[in-house]
Amino acid sequence: MKLTSEDGAESLVTITVMQPTSGASLSPGDREQLENLVSTVAKSMEPQSVEGALKVQRFEHGLVKGAFFSATDKDPPPGEFRYMSQGMGWMQDLAVSFTALSNVDDAVARKVMFQVVGSVRPAGEAQGEARTSADQSGGF
């Protein structure tokens, strides 16, 4: 999703929910394995980050538990973003991956990202579940 602040600054938040298939490299619910994967991604970003060493942090939002890191790009190319927060989490047997990108302090984009991540629920378990006509007809 694209976010635009009152001053016109844009941020981009992406969230992907996946159900690992048999033989996948991640075992559903294995938080340590997930944190290791996030750490590997963070380490690959360190050379181009202002921070140098990137700290992976645990989080729990809603039913989702996982890990993320934040980084500042030393020299982003024109048209690309300077700040990034990225991570993964588990919600039961679903993997949730997410990224927030911004050219201003990404605290707002990160807050929105975690609000959306925290609202992820298995189908049929959402509070006040809203159904669209597509849901009722079985189509899109």
State how beta strands 10-18 and 94-102 pair.
antiparallel
The answer, yes or no, to whether residue 77 has pLDDT greater than 70, is yes
Q: Give the pLDDT of residue 123.
A: 67
Q: Which two tokens stand for residue 12?
A: 């981009």
More confident residue, 39 or 4: 39
Q: How far apart are CA 49 and CA 94, in angstroms?
A: 30
Question: What is the pLDDT at residue 117?
Answer: 76
Token duo for residue 23: 């033989």
Q: What is residue 122's DSSP assignment?
A: -
Q: What is the pTM of this model?
A: 0.76
Cβ contact 43:63 at 8 Å:
no
- Delineate the domains of the chain, giving CATH numbers in brackets: 2-122 (3.40.1000)
Cα 35 to Cα 67: distance, rounded to the nearest angstrom: 6
Lowest mean pLDDT among 2-11, 25-34, 36-45, 98-107: 2-11
